[in-house]
Amino acid sequence: MLRLVSSVVVLMCLAGCGPRSPDIIWGNDEQVIRLTIGEAPRGPKDPVDITGLSLSGDLLLLEVSYGGGCAEHDFGLSWEGAFAESNPTQAWLVLFHDAHDDGCRALITQTLRFDLTSLKERWKEMYRREHGSTVLHVSGAQDSVVYEF
């Protein structure tokens, strides 16, 4: 009986121990979230403040703060897949936040990392050039950033 209970506990842990979404990549003990490209950005939009944004190679770094502390929060970044024709081009990204009904009120701050490789590849395919740039606008952010590749 003890062996059966131990096996069940181990299986439950293994089921919940990995990334919860195929959109999450782990590297160097840091979580990186893939940019979702679709028709129209959709997802939960619980309150979150973007306090900073920057780039590190193909990663968009968003500094965010939100209320919580009692549940794990999930984030996503979506882009409908179109560039605004300007010089440089522009792309509008939508940040999603699912607080999972976390009722706690601690102020949480963290840096989210989003992989922009798919946006870069789409740009290269559309404009048939290896190098370029696009201005990234993120919903809720005061500033924008120029992504050069």
**What's the CATH code of the domain at 137?**
2.60.40.3220
CA–CA distance from 103 to each of 34, 58, 83, 90, 108 (Å)?
27, 34, 38, 37, 13
Q: What is the DSSP letter of 45?
A: B
Residue 16 falls inside a structural domain? no
Structural domain span for residue 75: 23-148
Contact predicate 43/78, CB 8 Å: yes
The band of 41, judged by pLDDT with boundaries at 50, 70 and 90, is: low
d(CA 60, CA 77): 10
Residue 90 falls inside a structural domain? yes
Task: Pick 10 or 119 by higher pLDDT.
Answer: 119
Q: What's residue 38's pLDDT? A: 82
Q: What's residue 40's pLDDT? A: 58
Extract the runs of DSSP E, i.e. beta strands, from 69-132: 74-79, 89-98, 106-115
Q: What is the DSSP letter of 84?
A: B
The band of 24, judged by pLDDT with boundaries at 50, 70 and 90, is: low
Q: What is the pLDDT of residues 73-114, one digit of tens each?
A: 999 999 999 999 999 999 999 999 999 999 999 999 999 999
Q: What is the mean pLDDT of residues 33-47?
A: 81
Residue 6 falls inside a structural domain? no
The band of 118, judged by pLDDT with boundaries at 50, 70 and 90, is: very high
Q: How many distinct structural domains can be found in the chain?
A: 1
Query: 30 pLDDT exceeds 60?
Result: yes
Residue 76 falls inside a structural domain? yes
Residue 14 falls inside a structural domain? no
Residue 144 falls inside a structural domain? yes
Q: What's residue 42's pLDDT? A: 67
Residue 50 falls inside a structural domain? yes
CB neighbours of residue 2 within 10 Å: 6
